[in-house]
């Protein structure tokens, strides 16, 4: 019988409990591994579980405590990692795809190096939409993940596995990736906090690339305070990712002074507060705004006039970048779906067959679409045009920052939808990211926070709101978010 309280355990309270010797890292790791064993067959949050190495990592932390060593903030914290983040030596790093079913990661991602340096404990790799393309985790080649709040519904995607793991108490925290909302949307669907950092804050070295101008690794936690701790651990300039920024010069560390943030002005973009929002979402937004008013925040309407065009621009740019990034999967350099032995020695046929069989429908759709929008005769009308629209969307935010410090918006237009509801119609699936995409296009940080605390058995589907901040001003959205949670 564990003498810690897993439901209320956070990264911060875990660190305190460990220091006070209320429990050992090993027993907490064992607890989580047992819970995973019980719940994962139904939930399918994890694709692989590191049962042995997790215990070894936890034991090493306990030994450090025994000899009185100081502990880093994440020592012993049981963390789940989305399966598009490389952990050296893991036999299957799949990115949710058959084409990487047997790929063994040959190096640690930068974020994994940083977590290892803090003696974090890795519980395993979580399920995702194939190559992070999707909004429901139904595009995984290894079965969908279920929403812990309602097993007939999706947890959202593409980081559905990581989010479901934290929401269902199968990890204390997790990492995911967010290109168009893939952390924030599932976080909203499952009542957890999902942070997508500023583009460049977190190195993409070791993240299996989808859309290189948009991808970012981010955090999934039970509360905002934990998000700040985990974010602080993984951010930083990396020589091996030329798009990673030295943000130390621009933003101060994430040590938060609560009163500093009360002076911030919150903007509400009229284009996001549409009348066709799901009533539960509308109600949630009203509830959240009332809370902000109670906290004394000034709330001001703003306009982001090009919001409507963001989805189209995104779904031109992303397939284009995808078609390039996925060209490497040819069955020659990375272990293919099977040892394609000669039915053919013809190289071209090997490519066609490996990719034809190894990629799922959504991935293929995007590769073909991307090939089209980049091809001669179409490049200007589609890709070049989309890049210009991207500028306009970014400029909308620049204008808004003249009036406000933080932008408040719904994360999703609906609550979690049922498995199978949107999988037949790509556009209806894309539309679930309509509020998350603009921040990605502009490279801005954004955090999704549950409107209130939800109970797994409570019968209510979670709703989340977003706080979007200026480039490299995670400090602002984390600070305002923490104030919200403190009420």
- Residue 475: half-sphere exposure toward Cβ, Cα within 13 Å: 16
Tell me which residues in 115-174 interact with other proteins (CB under 8 A).
none
Give alpha helix (H) positions in 74-124. 110-117
DSSP conformational letter for 132? G
158 upstream amide cis, omega within 30 of 0: yes
As measured in angstroms, the least distance from the Cβ of 360 to other proteins is 11
Q: Is 350 in the site for other proteins (CB under 8 A)?
A: yes
Which residues on adjacent β-strands are paired with residue 46? Answer: 126
* Piece in contact with other proteins (CB under 8 A), picked from 45-53, 77-85, 295-303, 355-363: 355-363
| Catalytic annotation present for 82 | yes
CB of 436 to other proteins, least distance (A): 15
412: CB partners within 8 A, 6+ apart: 156, 185, 188, 189, 281, 432, 435, 436, 464
For the CB of residue 175, give the shortest distance to other proteins in the complex, in Å.
19
Residue 427 binding other proteins, by CB under 8 A: yes
Instruction: State which residue, 224 or 407, has the beta carbon closest to other proteins.
Output: 407
Active site residue 182: yes
Residue 421's Cβ-count burial label (10 Å; 0-12, 13-18, 19+) is middle
CB of 150 to other proteins, least distance (A): 28
Using the rule CB under 8 A, which residue among 30, 335, 421, 456 binds other proteins? 335
Among residue numbers 208 through 237, which ones bind other proteins (CB under 8 A)? 212-214
42 part of the interface to other proteins, by CB under 8 A: no
Give the C-alpha separation, 459 to 149, whole Å. Answer: 7
Q: Minimum Å distance from CB 443 to other proteins?
A: 4
**Residue 195 lies near other proteins (rule: CB under 8 A):** no
The Cα–Cα gap between 351 and 357 comes to 10
3-class DSSP state for residue 313? helix
User: In the complex, what is the shortest distance from the CB of residue 348 to other proteins, in angstroms, rounded to a whole number?
Assistant: 7
Question: Catalytic one among 82, 98, 146, 222?
Answer: 82
Minimum separation from the CB atom of position 50 to other proteins (A): 19
From the list 140, 162, 177, 182, the catalytic residue is 182
In contact, 274 and 307? CB cutoff 8 Å: no
Site mask, other proteins, residues 305-334, x = CB under 8 A?
A: -x-xx-xxx-xx------x---x--xxxxx
CA distance 115 to 213: 24
Q: Contact with other proteins (CB under 8 A): which of 19, 34, 38, 388? A: 388
Active site residue 391: no
Number of shown-chain residues binding other proteins (CB under 8 A): 71
- Distance, in Å, from the CA atom of 460 to the CA atom of 474, rounded to the nearest integer, reads 30
The first and second tokens of residue 449, run together, are: 């926070």
Q: Where are the beta strands (DSSP E) in 197-342?
A: 217-221, 265-269, 298-302
Spatial contact of 24 and 158, defined as CB atoms under 8 Å apart? no
Q: CB nearer to other proteins: give 226 or 362.
A: 362
Write out the binding residues for other proteins, residues 97-126 only, by CB under 8 A: 103-104, 106-107
Instruction: Closer to other proteins by CB, 427 or 487: give it.
Output: 427
Residues 6+ away with beta carbon under 8 Å from 418: 152, 153, 154
Residue 125 has phi, psi (to 5 degrees) of -110, 140
Site string for other proteins, 264-303 (x = CB under 8 A): ----------------------------------------
24 touching other proteins, by CB under 8 A: no
Q: Which positions are annotated as active-site residues? A: 82, 158, 182
């Amino acid at each position: 019988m564990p003498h810690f309280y897993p439901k209320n355990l956070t990264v911060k309270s875990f660190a305190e409990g460990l220091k006070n010797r209320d429990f050992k890292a090993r027993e907490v790791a064992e607890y989580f591994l047992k819970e995973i064993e019980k719940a994962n067959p139904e939930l399918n949050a994890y694709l692989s579980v590191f049962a042995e190495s997790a215990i070894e990592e936890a034991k090493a932390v306990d030994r450090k405590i025994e000899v009185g060593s100081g502990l880093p903030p994440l020592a012993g914290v049981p963390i789940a990692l989305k399966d598009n983040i490389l952990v050296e030596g893991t036999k299957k790093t799949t990115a949710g795809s058959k084409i990487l079913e047997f790929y063994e990661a040959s190096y640690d991602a930068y974020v994994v190096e940083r977590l290892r340096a803090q003696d974090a404990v890795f519980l395993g790799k979580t399920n995702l939409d194939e190559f992070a393309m999707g909004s429901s985790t139904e595009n995984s080649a290894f079965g969908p993940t279920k929403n812990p709040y309602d097993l007939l519904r999706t947890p959202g995607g593409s980081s559905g596995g990581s989010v479901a793991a934290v929401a269902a108490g199968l990890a204390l925290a997790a990492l995911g990736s967010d290109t168009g909302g893939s952390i924030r949307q599932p976080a909203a669907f499952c009542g957890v906090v999902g942070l997508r950092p500023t583009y460049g804050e977190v190195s993409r070295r070791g993240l299996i690339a989808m859309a290189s101008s948009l991808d970012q690794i981010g955090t999934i936690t039970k509360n905002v305070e934990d998000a700040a701790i985990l974010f602080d651990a993984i951010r930083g300039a990396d020589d091996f990712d030329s798009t990673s920024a030295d943000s130390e010069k621009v933003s101060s560390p994430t040590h938060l002074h609560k009163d500093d943030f009360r002076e911030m002005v919150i903007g509400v973009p009229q284009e996001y507060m549409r009348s066709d929002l799901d009533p539960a979402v509308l109600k949630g937004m009203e509830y959240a705004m009332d809370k902000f008013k109670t906290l004394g925040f000034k709330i001001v309407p703003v306009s982001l006039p090009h919001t409507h065009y963001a989805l189209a621009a995104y779904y031109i740019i992303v397939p284009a970048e995808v078609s390039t990034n996925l060209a490497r999967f040819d069955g020659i350099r990375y272990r293919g779906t099977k040892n394609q032995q000669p039915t053919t020695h013809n190289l071209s046929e090997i490519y066609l067959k490996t990719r034809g069989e190894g990629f799922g429908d959504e991935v293929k759709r995007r590769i073909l679409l991307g090939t089209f929008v980049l091809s001669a005769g179409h490049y200007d009308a589609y890709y070049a045009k989309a890049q210009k629209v991207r500028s306009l969307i970014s400029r909308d935010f620049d204008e808004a920052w003249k009036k406000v410090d933080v932008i408040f918006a719904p994360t999703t237009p609906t609550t979690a939808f049922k498995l199978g509801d949107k999988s037949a119609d790509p556009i209806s699936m894309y539309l679930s990211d309509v509020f998350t995409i603009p921040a990605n296009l502009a490279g801005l940080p954004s955090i999704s926070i549950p409107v209130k605390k939800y109970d797994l058995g409570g019968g209510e589907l979670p709703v989340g709101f977003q706080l979007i901040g200026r480039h490299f001003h995670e400090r602002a959205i984390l600070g305002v978010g923490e104030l919200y949670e403190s009420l």
